[in-house]
Chain A
Amino acid sequence: MKIMDLAIRTAISATVAVSGVIHAYLYIHGYRDIPAVGPAFLVQGSVFCALAVLILAGGPGWLQLCAAIGAACSLVAFALSRTVGLFGFTETGWEPSPYAAITVVVEVLTLVLVVTAAVRQRPRASKDLLPGLRPDGAAEPSARQR
């Protein structure tokens, strides 16, 4: 259903945008001075904002894959920062509140939505994977015709 696809795409774009904007905001307001983690926030913010725009614009599926990978990495980094530390940087609990909590929620949503979208794409994807077959299974005339 096209509307559904559009809705999912918009939702993914939104979650990615929120995560990117929050990382960018935190970078501006103090995180820039943290070694390694600071620049990483800048990269995350920039990449995610860019992805959000392009996903909303209807870009290819690998954009969403990148968003999912990015979200997963962000979540891992967050977990590390609360436990063993990330490049020596640690924080406790859900600081900075409420940004940390919002970002986690949004990134998990990104993962969920991207997987959902990918699953929905499956039936159509098989058509592209086997270019020689028509949907009903009959063979396409070979394109290698002179």
Chain B
Amino acid sequence: MSITNFKFNPATLTVPVGATVTWTNQDEEPHTVAGKDGSFHSPGMDTHGTYSFTFTAPGSYDYVCSIHPFMTGTVVVTK
């Protein structure tokens, strides 16, 4: 998953349960990923910073960048 130009790429990512998603920040600006339900919240990622989270429960997880909340994305975790 890359964060480029203030966008999560891809905006919606589908992974199976147990998969680990890694976000890499390609922007000059720091970003975070924060699940709207609070299930995950990354520290600030500076340029080229990364953050990984393993999704153990199925469902649809909407998240935003807590610094720039107009940036949104979704991770869909399938069984």
Report if A and B touch in the complex (beta carbons < 8 A).
Answer: no
Q: Which residues of A contact B (CB under 8 A)?
A: none
